[in-house]
Amino acid sequence: MNQDIQNLPTGMGSATAVEPRLLAAEVLERLRDLIIQGELAPGVKLNERVLCERLRTSRTPVREAIKYLASEGLVELLPNRGAIVTPITAATVRETFVLLAALEALAGELACANASEADIAEIRALHYQMLAHHARGELAPYFRCNQEIHLRLVECTGNTALLNTYRALNGHVRRARYMANLSRERWDHAVEEHQGILDALIRRDKALLPLLLRKHLENKMLVVLEELERQAS
Amino acid sequence: MNQDIQNLPTGMGSATAVEPRLLAAEVLERLRDLIIQGELAPGVKLNERVLCERLRTSRTPVREAIKYLASEGLVELLPNRGAIVTPITAATVRETFVLLAALEALAGELACANASEADIAEIRALHYQMLAHHARGELAPYFRCNQEIHLRLVECTGNTALLNTYRALNGHVRRARYMANLSRERWDHAVEEHQGILDALIRRDKALLPLLLRKHLENKMLVVLEELERQAS
DNA sequence: CGAGATCATTTTGTATGCATAATACATTTT
DNA sequence: AAAATGTATTATGCATACAAAATGATCTCG
């Protein structure tokens, strides 16, 4: 049940045994990171020549990676005009969060049924680690723990279709919330919600957990939307 | 709210105004159709040379389309060994349907809130058209109507992220259920379920509609799984 | 001074060439 | 005959070359 995160498909052919790495796969991951971490900002044009120089390859792998990312939704293809990083608008963020909320709710339901005790123990450990970062006011590590918890929850459903979809959509909004400035108040509230979520998971309360997750995601959405407006102004 | 289906992104750069078609985009759609309609069966190796001859292009557009489809999940990349059509197993079908059920449930909920009267009227018209095909025992047209109804339901939520995800996942299982041999009994039952779904939509019953859709999808899953086992034996 | 047209440059899209890894086949060996 | 090894063939992955479209700069004319 507990998959090795190393061997989960993060994209192009990374699922084989001895892992013959392809250049295009390297380029893909590098590009994806650049986009998610905002170094390639929403709306920015992807110039192939520039990317080739930066990544030290020819255009072929770059173009193939861009096509992959286009299907993933992180870039938009403009026929005869190349590609841009998919712009983020309040509307798309809202839409994506609504979807993510439904997916996490489903994940919660399935996790109650399918998670192993070890899965739950691991999430619990991550939860306390997150609490520590919260107590120390360490925002970035907190975010990482937070992300990891949500990911683990989806993973331990054992539904790889769900996991793949979740990851793709999560990537879209992570761009927006990367380093969102949480007020202390909201932060505390988020942590409280996480406590409820963990408790429901431990009790395997398959009625409550989906509701809590959905609500939690809705609140996350509000934070991100605020941050988005703050940036816009 | 009511999007023009023509301009929805079905893939590579089909989202522009006057639509300067790229060869790679043509190849993409053609390949996708070949896979979904089963002409390129699950597990089959995609030989670039063969595809190039068939589609009258060079390898570049074919390779780019394959990368796109890999992200979509319809093909699997094997490093240094090309790509195969993603195999269908009972497990992946089950996983995908569980996910689709959750997505359609969400769509039902959103549709109750957001669908225009015109949207509902159109779905109603399609429903009666479907009933006609059912009465005449016309399976293929029935399936098309059925698909169209489900698609319209998702479309009229106005959530394009949901729509895109739905379409991709739907493509995966459509390969399996393309021309599934329905028993008359099951067929009749499916039609009854659709009647209930339509009624709930008309009443905008946002509590009931998601439940009906989820149940409907579960039954569809059973049909597909049976068909899959029948084919395997 | 500004709008529009013409031309140069850049960039994208497609085709092709070359190197390497994988596969198939034949030969040898046990 | 089966297994193993070596060789030939094929297919893939990456780089590059060429063609067409888009961009932008300059020039002309109102």
Per-residue pLDDT tens digits for B218-233: 999 999 998 888 877 7
pLDDT the model gives residue A127: 98
Q: Are the beta carbons of B99 and A76 separated by less than 8 Å?
A: no
Q: Which residues are within 7 Å of strand C by their Cβ atom?
A: A 20, 45-49, 59-60, 63, 77-83; B 13, 22-24, 57-61, 64, 80-81
% residues pLDDT > 70 (chain B)? 91
* SS3 (DSSP) at A27: helix
The highest-confidence range among A118-122, A229-233, B4-8, by mean pLDDT, is A118-122
Confidence tier at A232 by pLDDT (50, 70, 90):
confident
Q: SS3 letters for chain B?
A: CCCCHHHCCCCCCCCCCCCCCCHHHHHHHHHHHHHHCCCCCCCCEECHHHHHHHHCCCHHHHHHHHHHHHHHCCEEECCCCCEEECCCCHHHHHHHHHHHHHHHHHHHHHHHHHCCHHHHHHHHHHHHHHHHHHHHCCHHHHHHHHHHHHHHHHHCCCCHHHHHHHHHHHHHHHHHHCCCCCCHHHHHHHHHHHHHHHHHHHCCCCCHHHHHHHHHHHHHHHHHHHHHHHHHC
B10 touches chain A (CB under 8 A): no
Q: Kindly report, residue by residue over A28-81, the tens digit of the pLDDT.
A: 999 999 999 999 999 999 999 999 999 999 999 999 999 999 999 999 999 999
Q: Kindly report, residue by residue over A150-171, the tens digit of the pLDDT.
A: 999 999 999 999 999 999 999 9
- Mean pLDDT of all residues belonging to chain A: 91
pLDDT the model gives residue A5: 26
Average pLDDT over residues B173-181: 78
Average pLDDT over residues A171-175: 93
Q: Residues of B with CB below 8 A from A169's CB?
A: 161, 165
Assess whether pLDDT exceeds 70 at residue B91: yes
Confidence tier at A209 by pLDDT (50, 70, 90):
very high
A23 touches chain B (CB under 8 A): no
How far are the Cα atoms of A226, B55, B187, B188, B222 from residue B214, in angstroms, in the given order? 33, 39, 17, 18, 13
- Which strand D bases fall within 7 angstroms of a protein CB? 11-17, 21-23
pLDDT the model gives residue B179: 61
The CATH architecture one would assign to domain A90-232 is Up-down Bundle (1.20)
Average pLDDT over residues B23-41: 93
B92 touches chain A (CB under 8 A): yes
Average pLDDT over residues B26-50: 96
Break chain B into its structural domains and give their ranges: 5-85, 90-232
A84 touches chain B (CB under 8 A): no
pLDDT the model gives residue A109: 98
Assess whether pLDDT exceeds 80 at residue A10: no
Domain A5-85: give its CATH code. Answer: 1.10.10.10
Assess whether pLDDT exceeds 60 at residue B200: yes
Q: Report the residue of A35, A71, A86, A218 to disrupt the B interface, i.e. the one with the largest count of B CBs within 10 Å.
A: A71
- Least confidently predicted of A94-103, A182-191, B159-168: A182-191
Of B21, B76, B92, the CB nearest to A161: B92
Assess whether pLDDT exceeds 50 at residue A7: no
* Range 190-229 of B in CB contact (< 8 A) with A: none
- Mean pLDDT of all residues belonging to chain B: 91
Residue B159 φ then ψ, to 5°: -100, 105
Nearest in space to B198 (alpha carbons), one of B142, B119, B134, B141: B119
% residues pLDDT > 90 (chain A)? 81
pLDDT the model gives residue A228: 87
Q: Kindly report, residue by residue over A110-163, the tens digit of the pLDDT.
A: 999 999 999 999 999 999 999 999 999 999 999 999 999 999 999 999 999 999
pLDDT the model gives residue B4: 32
